Structures are given as C-alpha cells and as structure tokens.
Structure 1
Amino acid sequence: MPNQVTYRVYDFLKEIAPFSYLDREALLRVAERVEVRYQPPDTVVFRPGEPPRDRFFVVKEGTVELYSEDVDGNELLVERCGEQDIFGIRPLLAEDNYVFLARAVEESLLYAINSEGFREIIPNYPRVLEYLVTSMAGSSRYAVEYRAARRQEMAAAAPEPDLMSLHTLHRSRDPVVCLRTDTIIDAARRMTEHNVGSIVIVDDDFRPSGIITDRDLRRCVATGAVSRKLPVTTIMSAPVLCLAQQATVADVQIKMIRTGKHHLVQTEDGTDRTRVTGVISEHDLLLLQGNNPAVIIQEIGVATTASYLRELRDRSERLLGGFLEKEVAIGYITAVMTQINDEIIRKCIKMSLARMQQDGRGNPPALFDWLTLGSQGRGEQLLRTDQDNALIFEDVPEARYPATKDYFLQLAEYITEYLNEVGFDYCDGDMMASNPKWCLSASRWKEQFSSWMHDNTAESMLHTSIFFDYRGVWGDGSLPDKLTDHIFLEMERRSTRFQASLAMAALQNPSPLTFFRNFVVERSGEHKDQFDLKARAMRPLTDAARVLILQAGQGNINNTLKRYEALATIEPQNARLYEEAAKAYELLIRLRAELGLKRNDSGRFVRPGELTQVQRLLLRNSFNPVGEIQKLLELRFQLNFMR
C-alpha cells in the first residue's frame, strides 16, 4: 500500500513528461521506488567520468547546474535545471560514464528515480518509448548529455513506433563487413568507402562475430591506445546483438533502449548462427519514419500536383507538432520547416514554368529569383500564413522590358495560385510577386529600395519592415546579392537618418504589459480582448534585430535568432541582452506555433485566459528583453531628440 510520501511524489511526477504518459498504477510503482534527496548548496550530485548510477533525477525544488570542461579545465555552464527538470538520464539510455558535473546552486530537493524499475515498464508504454527515443536523437535537454558522450551529430526527429518492417531499409544495399583476419585500418577504409558508421566482422560463412563502430575507432585508435595495424578482433565488440529480418521498428527501439546499444545486426534467423543480412542504427530508424523531414522533402521533389503538396505540408505540420511536444530546439525546428517551405516554393515554380511552356510562352526571357519576404524570408515561418513574396529579374534592354515583365507577371500569377492551393493564402495587402509593383528588374528594385530609404515615411518604413527581410529561393543568388550590396551602399550615404527612422519604427509597439502587469489587449474589432503576439511581442524583437544588424554592416543574416547571435559576438558588452532577446524570441515562436496548431489558425492572437499559469509566466518573462532592447535603441540612435 503506497504511503503519503509516495502519493506526494506521484502528484508531482504526473505533470512531467514522460511520467505523464504512464497510467496511475504504473506511476505509483515508479513513485514507490523514488528516493528523496536533499542537496545542500554547492554540493555535487555526480562528476564527469563517474559510472552511471541506478538513478536519474528530477528537481523538486531548487536549482542544479550542469557543467562541462574546456581544454584548460575551466568549467562551462551547459544547462541550468529548475523545478520539474530532469537530468542525469544517461543510465536510462546508455552505459557510458557521466560527461558533465552536476552541482546544486542552492538548497535543492531531488527525486531520484530508479532507472531499472522505470526501464522495466517502458515496453508497455509506446509514448514513453517514443519520448526517450526522440530524446536520444533530438535536441532536447536530455540529448545534450547523450550527444556529448557519443561525439557525433545526430538527426532530430519525432519518430512514432509502429509495425513497419525494417526489410525495406536494406533492399538496395548490402551490409558492410570484413573478416576476422583483416586489420583495423582495413575496416576503417571500408567504412569510409561506404560512408557507414559501423562494420560487421564475419567468419568464412558470413556469420557475425563482432562489430566495430565509429566510436570504437575514436576510443581505441584515435587516442593511440591500439595500433591500427592489429586485427579487427582487438577492438570489436562481441558477441553482437542480433535481430531477425521480420523485426519491427518498435522491436528495435525497445532493444536499443534496454541494452543501450546503438547498432543491431540483422541475420537470417535473428541469431549469430546465420548469415548477416543488414545493420540497423538509430539514424536508420529515423529515416524509416514517414513523417521524417528528409522523407517529406524527397516526396516534394516527386510531387506533380498542388493538392499532393498540400498533403505533404499537412504532414509537415504534424511533424512540427511532434517537435514542439518533445521540446526540440526552435533553431532546428525553424531550419527544418524553412527547408520544407522552400522546397514547396521551388516545386511550385517548376510546375509554373512547365505551365508557361504549355501556354506556348517558352522559357524565361531572363534570369530571375523568387524572393520570400517577412517571416519566411527570415526562415521563421512554422505555420502556413498568407503569402509575402516578390520577383527580381536581371536587367534587360528597355525595349524588351515590357514583354519580359509581362512574362514574369504571368509566371508569378501561376506560382501564387499554386501556393494558395497548398494552403498559403493570398496576401490581403497584395504583397506578392503577381502585383506589378513587386515584380521588377534588378535596377528598378534598387531604385525602389533607395526611395524607401530616402523618404522615411510611415509607408516606407512599413515596406522596409517587410521587404528588407528578403531571401532568394530560386536561381544562383546573384540577383539578391546585388540588391544587398546596393542597400549597404545606400546605408553609407544616408546611414544616420535612415537607421534612426528604422529604430523609431521599432519603438511603435511599447511594453506588452500595462502598469498593473496585465497583458495589453486589443480594445475593439475582430480580436477584441485578445493579445497580439506578433505585434506586441515578436515584432519589436524582429524590428530591433533588423536595424541593429544593418548598423553592424552584416548582410545576408535574415533570421532573428541568428541576428542576435551575431550581434552578441560583435558587441560582447551587450551579449547578455542579445542572448536574452534570442531566448525570448524562441519562446514566442514556440508558443505561437503551439497555439496555432491547437486552434488551426496562425496563432497570432490569444486570450490571456486560455494560457496556462506557466505559459503566462514565461510570456511575461519574455517581455523583459523587449523593453531593454527598446531602451538600447533609444540611447544608441538618440531617439528622444526625434520625438
């Protein structure tokens, strides 16, 4: 019969993934085996190099920091874990030693979870298994420890256990093997030739005797501990873990979790007494998932209709939902979704060019590039919103200009039509390449940007906020580069006035909170009593990053997070502020995407009452850098004198 302590532990853990995926009975069994630990300030929980224990930890109260060491032995902060955070999860995933130092910053109360007891229940709970597999391969906090120990890049994805056969993985390739008499250098060369991370050592009958992985080569050979001229048997791991060809994805995932092994050998009957037929690695598992970004991008490449592209974009949003649920890093999520969106745009362009051929219009009369603008131009568009795009084509003789522009306007009409069918709505403000105003030659685009930078009117600043975040997704990039060069030449001519105007525009959205710490909501209209995440919180950060990166003379850095990252390097005295601004923006992107997926809309407007207490707190905290960044702009550009 569970006691009161067990019930208190249960009540705490049931709100935290992956414990929240367990039913009541299973979680109570876990809670019964929890050890409550008091950790005084500045005391060590575990040290790097220590063997993994039979416990991993959840912070009940207090703070624990994880540190790594640089080559000089200096401590480098890796992660700060607060209430409900999990750390030291390595015993559940692998048998390697700890790679970080874990130290309590203040008086802390920890729940030490019995690893073996928790591992026993994993096979019965697919969502727990899915969560842990994603942690091993993803960008979550727990993967930091895992990747640091493995010393290799791993793909982040959100796999879903199913009954898919692994047979298709190896239909087109033979397993890479070597004989027991081969040398280590022979094996390394063969792995390099075939671009694989492991090689199976077989006997004369092709039966597995052992396996060597990249990690074995690093551990034994790269360190000089073992001569590369010795036989492969010197460093191979034996016996190998085998599985049958009929094994499912779930079978493999469970076996990898239970054993901590990252490569499994397939044989004819699932034992080491029959011939090798393949090798399964964690990376292979990720590629097998139909909702894997690489698979979606491959499907986009062979798509022939806008309706199928829409299906693929729907699948990518399910992928996005999985990423958000597993708390995969926003930088990775935006990179994946941007790549998917770019591939869809390029496919729409190809389909439109084919349609122009069918119309008898022939090939493009000049080089051109399709420019994405706004959030997609910054590589930050996670959900499908309305279109913001433009078209730039190379300069042609004046006599040819009308016909050339007419061709590209028709092409743009087709492209925007296809994008609309995919789910990217037409822009209400007609900020699209199908608008004659936004389909121009390189020279005329330069004139347009010069005009905006010279006028400094409210309308010009509005266009600047949209068009200055352009990014080419078609062509060789030379035309957008020419435009960027022109902008910085103009900056030299009228830098002070233009930059000050940009900075002033970035202050148009004041603090998102009222004097009484309530959210500033819309007072009327369709979104009355709702908070505008985009205008009140995100736009001040994007606008500030844009003007600051322009002032720094850094072109071709469009992404807001990367802009702040670059600024932190350029201005170390303001690094803390820029890092905090980036963290706040990451939170806002994540929150907007979560809300949008939940409600099937853009996620822009939110009623404060629909936010959880944690979401409200995190959102309020994200507003602090907004105010600090705006103060920096006021001082740097002396905006008080312009008001």
Structure 2
Amino acid sequence: MKNTISERVADFLKKYPPFNILAEHQLQKLAYEVTIIHKENNSIVFAEKEAPHNYFYVVHKGAIALTKKGSQHILDICDEGDIFGLRPLMAHEKYKLQATAQEETILYAIPIEEFKPIALENHQVGDFLIESFASNTRNPYSIKHRGKLYGVSNDGEGTAENKLLDLQPVRYSTNLVTCTEETQIKVLANAMSLNSVGCILVTKNELPIGIITDKDLRNKVATGMVPITKNAKAIMSTPVITYSKELTITQAQMALMKSRISHLCLTEDGTTDTPAVGILSKHDVMVALGNNPSVLMRAIKRATDSKRLRTIRHSIINLLQGYLEQNIPMGLVSKIISELNDATIKQVIQVCIDQMETPPPVKFTWLAMGSQGRGEQLLTTDQDNAILYEDVPEDKKEETQSYFLALGNRISVELNHIGFEYCPAEMMASNPLWCHSLQEWKEVTSHWMGNPGPDEVLLSSIFFDFNVTYGEKALADELSLHIFENAKKYPQFLTHLASGALQNPSPSGFFRDFLVEQDGAHKDFFDLKLRALMPIIDAARVLILSHSIKSINNTAERYEKLAELEPKNQELYTACSFASKALLKFRTKQGLLHNDSGRFIALDQLNKEEKIKLKRTFKTIKEIQELIQVRFQVKNLLR
C-alpha cells in the first residue's frame, strides 16, 4: 500500500532546489523519513546557542524569521521552499541564530543521517547547501565554509578555472531520425530527405544497432550495388560506434579520425545498451572548432569590412552561450569575450583609419568606457567611447580635432553596423565633448573633480572606467596619473563619488521581497542593473580610486586587488568579487534568453533556485554600501 503522506512530501520537495535534482528513488526514500512539524505563530524552532538538532528544515507553509538573541532586527525570512537550520549538517556547532515562526507554519524536518549519503553522492546538492548555509551567515559568499559538507568539495567558480576550453563539450543534433532493419531503402532515403539529415539510425527495441549515411546511399545504392527495393539491413554499418553524450571536441575529433567515419551515435552511457540521445557529425565538430576563441581571433584580424565582422560577432555570442551552458567560470568567460570584443573594435578602427584620406596627424588613443571599459560587456549593448590624442600647437587644435571627430564618427557608424548601438546620451568619440587632446582631458577631469555636482559625478563614473582599446597607452597612463593626483588634491570628490554609489536603491524590501519598478514601460520588473549591479560596481570604483590603483577596471578584479590591500576586509571583498560575477552571469543568461540587454527581469519567469541565487548577492551589496558610507563619511550628504 502506498504511503500517501510521503508521496505528498516528495511532490512538494521536488519543486524546490536541491531536491529537484535528486533521482526519484532518492527523493521517495528521503520523503518517507521526513517529520512534519506544526508551529504556532511566535513559537521557536530553535534558539541561539541551542545544541544542533538531528534535522535541517524546509518551510512547507508559513514563514520563519531568523534573528539574533535580544534583537528585534530580522536578519532573514524563510518562506515556502526555503531551507534553514543547516548548521548541524555543515559546521557541527551550536546555532548562531534563533528561528521563530512569523505565522502559523508547517515544516518538513529532513533527517541529517538520511540525507548525508545523498549529499556525498551528488556534488550539485552539496554545493547548493553550502551556498544556502553561507547565505544565512554574515557573508553570503563566505569562503570559510566552502567544501565543508562532510568532505564534499565545491566544484564551482574557483576550481573550474582548471578546465581547458579546448576540451569543451561539443554540441550535437538531437533530431534523431530512425528506422528498423526491415525498412525499405527508398522509404528511409525519403525520411532522410524530408528531415534534412545526413544519416538515419537503425534501431531494434529502441536501441541502436546500425547507421546509414548519405555516403552509404551514394556508394551502395546509387552505384547499383544494392537495389533500392532492399531493406536497411542490406546497407547499414554495424555495429554502431557509440560514445557518451559528454563527448568533448577533442575526443570527437579523435573518434572520427580513428574510425574513419563521418557520424557518431551518442547514448546516455556511451554504449549500445542504452537508447541514442543524439548524432554528432563531422560538420558539427568543424562548427565547434569554428567557435573556438583562437579561430575567431584570427578571423577578426583577417576581416576587412563590417559585414564580415558582424557575422563574427554572432559567432562570439554563440561561444558565450556555450560557455554559460558548460558553467565555465565567469571570470574566465569575461576575459575571453572582452578580448574578442576589443579585437573586433580594434579591427574596425584600423579599417576606418585606412579609409581616411590621410593618416592620423598625431598619436591617439581610443578609450572604451563603461561596461566595455570594465571588460563586462558580454552582450552587445550601446557604445561608450572617447578619443584622447597628443597635444598640438594652438594653430593646429581645430584642424586636429576635426580629423579625430571625423574618424570617431566613421568608427561609431561601423560599430553600429556590427551590432553596437549608438549611445542614447551620445557619450561617443564622434561627439566633441568626448574627443579631446591630453591637456584638454586633464582640464575636463579637473573640472569634474573640483566641482563634483550630480552631473560631474555621473560623467566621472562612466569615464573613469576607461580602458585602452587602440593606440598609445602612454597617453592614457598620463591621464590616469593626473586623475589620481586630483583625487588627493580634492578629497571631497571621493566623498561625492561614494555618495553617488549609494544613490541606487536597495535590491530588496522587508520580507526579502524584490523591489520592482512601480511605473513606466518596465512596471513590475526587477531592474538588475540599477538595483544590484551598479551599487557593487560603483563601490569598487571609488575604493580602487582611493588606493590610486590604475589598469584594473574589471569589478571582480578590483575587489580581488582590494582584498590584497585590505586584509581586514578580505572576506567582504571576496564576497563582492563572487557577487559581481554571479550578477553578471545572471544578467547575461537573461539577456541571451530574451534577446535583450538582460537588465529588466520578469520575476514570475524565474524559478525558486534562480531567485535564491539572486537574493544571495543582496547582503553583500548592503554590506559594501555600509562600508562606503562609513569610510567616506557620506552620511551628511544623504540627508
């Protein structure tokens, strides 16, 4: 007789992470051991410093508040599907917080001894619980607890750096066309033609036993060797050469060369004992190799027009999507895509210079600003750029600026052709306000820093992330030195810059609700850029500027450098580095999914796990803003 209670428990748990990735038999076994607990409003589940229970808890209905003893301040609210009370599973020590029912609540108590083997067997489960545990500590990206789940190591962002991109999994076709041994050759040939495939799989009892390709039809049927009225068995290649679906590009190349065949059959376990899940052709491997960064880089350098570069840009986006699907570390992904973007822009600039009637009159630098300058423009968004050129005599100023404005305009037009939209605020090198000599840029930045009004702070925030894409780096270095000297000369500027970093509203309100847009075109959407990314980016900028560190523009790398410079804040800065990469990855995935910038998120389209991961960054944002407020004494400016 079925246990209907345990079935209901299993049906509930499988909707939420990490239980949704458990095998059915694991989930059913665990559900049978779950204890259902009812808590009245204001009743305590466990108290601070209480000895650990033999369970951790999942909220079925209601809400649980996590607080410090004697404090009315709620540190976290756990609602339906949330996990809490992981300390006995993770740290083997007394509870650090008190858990109290905020309303009438039903909990599922998961026995640790029953769950432990599952966590050991499935690293994804272990990693999720490690992060969930850390998110209820002071630092949601704490490195203290990583890899502490009964010996389960964390295979996340850090360790994955060792993955070789040349060993990335290859994409294969899941459009399987099959037939039986008795299928007439004419019929199977028509099926191949109708489905536009180069091969057909011969199966028996749903298992692959043979394969027929275009080559077989040409060499065996078209030549008259085998009549077209015969069946599949007469021309199929057997046994089928099978490999696991986790086949890498390198392995696929080796397999095709070794067996001298054009198609591989991929199955669940790599043998003919399980059904086929896909077909991999030699063409698929060539396409995968074509999306290799080194191949794309060579193609960029050979391109001579925007049409070809636009095609390459599509390949870069495909590469980005593949990296995200393979969970390649975000730091590594940013570097690769940014290098390809920079190379693309550099090639555009070179092509445009070659098209000018005369070469540049003096040395110059093309500066990428904003997200591109930080190496965080993974999706194709709008342009933010400027030109910096050598000082010239007074009588040459107008002529020189005219040349570079014409060049800037030509470059901006070509960048638009390959997919980089024009900046709505016209912060582009084609605008006289963003095309200056070194001395003029010094005067502009000195004015911003000496008169830090809202507009000047905004312009500084965009410009000070500049990075050299093309030209004379020494010019940019001299300008950076000037900016650092002015930062010391005008200490109040850093306070105003810090104030600007605190203007973006908090990502969440009470009860952990996302703060969404209240009106306008994006009403009820969550502004990921404004409420989450910008606060953490702006804080990194003002902190790195206060240390006079140049040539580190990427937000995650800025926090890594800050962790070295300020050991006492190492934990927070490390958390900020992780959070910035997590948010960038989230935005990029959303942008690819919806074919937009990924800025505005429809919360009702996120699953529970996505919401949990997003919310984990919010505590880090709150803490870094608190540090900024205290360090730069912003309190009076915020009144």
TM-score (norm 2): 0.63
**Cα separation, 2, equivalents of 1:458 and 1:471:** 23
- Residue 170 of structure 2 corresponds to 159
1:439 aligns with 2:450: no
3-state SS, counterpart of residue 473 of structure 1: strand
Return the offset for 1:29.
11
Residues 445-594 of structure 1: matches in 2 within 5 Å?
445-494=441-490, 496-594=491-589
**Cα separation, 2, equivalents of 1:630 and 1:504:** 10
- Residue 376 of structure 1 corresponds to 372
Q: Is the 8 A contact 2:388 2:438 kept in 1?
A: yes
**Cα separation, 1, equivalents of 2:25 and 2:513:** 42
The residue type equivalent to 2:317 in the other structure is: E
**Cα separation, 2, equivalents of 1:526 and 1:340:** 33
1:364 aligns with 2:364: no
Indicate how the Cα distance of structure 1 residues 328 and 444 shifts in structure 2: closer, same or farther if over 3 A, else same.
same
Q: Is the 8 A contact 2:363 2:472 kept in 1?
A: no
**Cα separation, 1, equivalents of 2:173 and 2:596:** 30
**Cα separation, 2, equivalents of 1:340 and 1:320:** 11
Q: Is the 8 A contact 1:286 1:292 kept in 2?
A: no
| 1:38-78 deviation line (CA, Å, top 9, x unaligned) | 9996899xxxxxxxxxx95346579579xxxxxxxxxx979
1:602 aligns with 2:613: no
- Residue 407 of structure 1 corresponds to 403
**Cα separation, 1, equivalents of 2:124 and 2:631:** 42
Q: Is the 8 A contact 1:160 1:289 kept in 2?
A: no
- Residue 103 of structure 1 corresponds to 151
Indicate how the Cα distance of structure 1 residues 261 and 607 shifts in structure 2: closer, same or farther if over 3 A, else same.
closer
1:325 aligns with 2:352: no
Indicate how the Cα distance of structure 1 residues 559 and 146 shifts in structure 2: closer, same or farther if over 3 A, else same.
closer
Residues 25-44 of structure 1: matches in 2 within 5 Å?
none
Q: Is the 8 A contact 2:90 2:148 kept in 1?
A: no
Q: Is the 8 A contact 1:511 1:536 kept in 2?
A: yes
**Cα separation, 1, equivalents of 2:608 and 2:359:** 57
Q: Is the 8 A contact 2:507 2:618 kept in 1?
A: yes
3-state SS, counterpart of residue 80 of structure 1: coil
| 1:245-295 deviation line (CA, Å, top 9, x unaligned) | xxxxx979759969x99996998988xxxxxxxxxxxxxx89962222222
Return the offset for 1:403.
1.1
Indicate how the Cα distance of structure 1 residues 625 and 451 shifts in structure 2: closer, same or farther if over 3 A, else same.
same
Return the offset for 1:404.
1.1
Indicate how the Cα distance of structure 1 residues 437 and 253 shifts in structure 2: closer, same or farther if over 3 A, else same.
farther
**Which of 367, 378, 381 is residue 385 of structure 1 equivalent to?**
381
Indicate how the Cα distance of structure 1 residues 472 and 401 shifts in structure 2: closer, same or farther if over 3 A, else same.
same
Return the offset for 1:158.
5.3
**Cα separation, 2, equivalents of 1:583 and 1:561:** 7
The residue type equivalent to 2:434 in the other structure is: W
- Residue 176 of structure 1 corresponds to none
| 1:145-172 deviation line (CA, Å, top 9, x unaligned) | 894xxxx966574532479xxxxxxxxx
Unaligned runs of 5+ in 1: 45-54, 66-75, 83-101, 106-138, 164-249, 271-284
The residue type equivalent to 1:324 in the other structure is: L
3-state SS, counterpart of residue 122 of structure 2: strand
The residue type equivalent to 1:566 in the other structure is: K
**Cα separation, 2, equivalents of 1:321 and 1:491:** 40
Indicate how the Cα distance of structure 1 residues 464 and 269 shifts in structure 2: closer, same or farther if over 3 A, else same.
closer
3-state SS, counterpart of residue 512 of structure 2: coil
3-state SS, counterpart of residue 103 of structure 1: coil
Q: Is the 8 A contact 1:59 1:81 kept in 2?
A: no
| 1:509-559 deviation line (CA, Å, top 9, x unaligned) | 131212343222222222222221111111111110000001112111100
**Cα separation, 2, equivalents of 1:42 and 1:455:** 52
**Cα separation, 1, equivalents of 2:146 and 2:514:** 30
- Residue 343 of structure 1 corresponds to 343
Q: Is the 8 A contact 1:43 1:103 kept in 2?
A: no
Indicate how the Cα distance of structure 1 residues 305 and 14 shifts in structure 2: closer, same or farther if over 3 A, else same.
farther
Residues 106-505 of structure 1: matches in 2 within 5 Å?
141=156, 144=159, 147=162, 155=166, 157=168, 159-161=170-172, 289-356=289-356, 361-494=357-490, 496-505=491-500
3-state SS, counterpart of residue 388 of structure 2: strand
**Which of 111, 122, 128 is residue 57 of structure 1 equivalent to?**
122
**Cα separation, 2, equivalents of 1:606 and 1:333:** 22
3-state SS, counterpart of residue 395 of structure 2: helix
Question: Aligned Cα RMSD in Å?
Answer: 4.4
3-state SS, counterpart of residue 527 of structure 1: coil
Higher CA-based Rg: 2
1:80 aligns with 2:91: no
- Residue 88 of structure 1 corresponds to none
**Cα separation, 1, equivalents of 2:255 and 2:327:** 31
| 1:470-513 deviation line (CA, Å, top 9, x unaligned) | 0011114111111111111112211x211111111111013121
- Residue 634 of structure 2 corresponds to 639
**Cα separation, 2, equivalents of 1:31 and 1:162:** 32
The residue type equivalent to 1:639 in the other structure is: V
**Cα separation, 2, equivalents of 1:413 and 1:575:** 44
- Residue 606 of structure 2 corresponds to 611
3-state SS, counterpart of residue 170 of structure 2: coil
Indicate how the Cα distance of structure 1 residues 6 and 530 shifts in structure 2: closer, same or farther if over 3 A, else same.
closer
**Cα separation, 2, equivalents of 1:586 and 1:506:** 19
Return the offset for 1:435.
0.1
**Cα separation, 2, equivalents of 1:142 and 1:621:** 15
Unaligned runs of 5+ in 2: 34-53, 56-87, 93-119, 132-142, 175-239, 261-284
Return the offset for 1:607.
2.3
**Cα separation, 1, equivalents of 2:514 and 2:313:** 33
**Cα separation, 2, equivalents of 1:465 and 1:452:** 10
**Cα separation, 2, equivalents of 1:600 and 1:342:** 22
**Cα separation, 1, equivalents of 2:245 and 2:583:** 38
Once the two structures are aligned, what percentage of the paired residues are identical?
36
Return the offset for 1:304.
2.1
The residue type equivalent to 2:471 in the other structure is: G
The residue type equivalent to 2:461 in the other structure is: S
Q: Is the 8 A contact 2:539 2:625 kept in 1?
A: yes
Q: Is the 8 A contact 1:577 1:629 kept in 2?
A: yes
TM-score (norm 1): 0.62
Indicate how the Cα distance of structure 1 residues 292 and 12 shifts in structure 2: closer, same or farther if over 3 A, else same.
farther
Greater RCO between the two (CA within 8 Å, min separation 6)?
2
Indicate how the Cα distance of structure 1 residues 292 and 251 shifts in structure 2: closer, same or farther if over 3 A, else same.
farther
